[in-house]
Amino acid sequence: MGMTRVFLIFSVVFFYVLSPIYTLPIAPALYVFGDSLVDSGNNNKLMTLAKVNYRPYGADFPKGSTGRFTNGRTVADFIAEYLGLPYSPPFLSRDGPRSLTGINYASGSCGIMPETGKNVGGCISLWEQINFFQATLERDLPKEISNPTQLSEHISKSIYLFSIGSNDYLVNYLSPMSDTRKLYQPEPFAQLLIDRLSEQLKRVYNLGARKIVVFNVGPIGCIPAITRTHAHVGDCDENSNQLVTYFNDRLNAMLTSLTTSLPGSKFVLGHANSLANDAIKNPSKYGLTNVNNPCCPSMANGTATCIPNVNPCVDSRKHFFWDAYHLTEAAYSIIASRCFSDKSACTPMSIQELVKM
């Protein structure tokens, strides 16, 4: 009995020492913008094929199938936990006062370009997401914070998370249903995306945001949707990965420029691409055993979303990919935990350091 009690005490202490989760909020709110990598349920309210409010999605999430495109938590969910905040509720189904601790505006299939994702139905473009954010600031938050000075402080000290851009390649530039590839060579298209994204980030800044985290685009050439449809040598299609590299290289320079030119701003680059690549190339380092195949049986010969109501793999913690496009909770945990605490994974500072600025 004595040894058991000692072990339990040790376990509790061990957990609190290692866990980055704070019991009290260390930031006022987390506002999330992006695509299906961080969508928490907005697409449930839209007429779109990009909708996953069915099992096995949410198989490891306490509330089940919420519209998250994974088995459990997303990067945004983990970061909310680390900040000591509740998960940011989807804008289209939010519950009043919860807007005080953040809102999720992200929408599956959408991208930086306004036309991206429209071929599969409705989605909330990045422009529209920021319009909704403006509505939150002007309509909702003043009901909770009536003092203008306190409201301004709330906005400036909150964290703003962007994860967007992959669909501009997957369902736009690389799509046979799109003419974009005929109009732009890879590098001019990457620059077009950067210019459009920069415009939107400036809009958020002008609305009062100061602490902004932008994740770069992951190695799309490694996702099952690409590896199973594109001829390639090795584990990934490096031609697709190169397209993303043109964008990511420019993103780094753009965020540095914005921090310099916009007074009081702190733009942080989340290195999702290098973190994902490292996990794919060194799976045992992260406790993974399968980094090529989706955990859930997926439609279209394993190149789409999960087949409804079909059981997923036995242990999703060992898989990197959940379906043909999205990662497992385990994979998202790797990216979120590193970016929160490691300034080599989020540069020039970790999210933990950004909070203190």
Looking at the annotation, which residues are catalytic?
36, 323, 326
Q: Measured in Å, how far apart are the chain's first and last C-alpha atoms?
A: 47
Looking at residue 321, what DSSP letter applies? E
Alpha helices in the chain (DSSP H): 2-18, 75-82, 126-135, 141-144, 148-157, 166-168, 180-183, 186-206, 224-227, 238-261, 272-281, 299-302, 329-341, 351-356
Q: Two tokens at 328?
A: 């497992």
Nearest CA to 293 out of 262, 264, 318, 261 is that of 318
* Strand order, beta sheet including 346-347: 30-34, 159-163, 211-215, 266-270, 346-347
- Rounded to whole angstroms, the Cα distance separating 328 from 72 reads 7
> With contact defined as beta carbons under 8 Å apart, do 106 and 46 qualify?
no
Rounded-to-integer distance, Cα 198 and Cα 248, Å:
13
- Exposure of 93 in the CB half-sphere (CA atoms within 13 A): 13
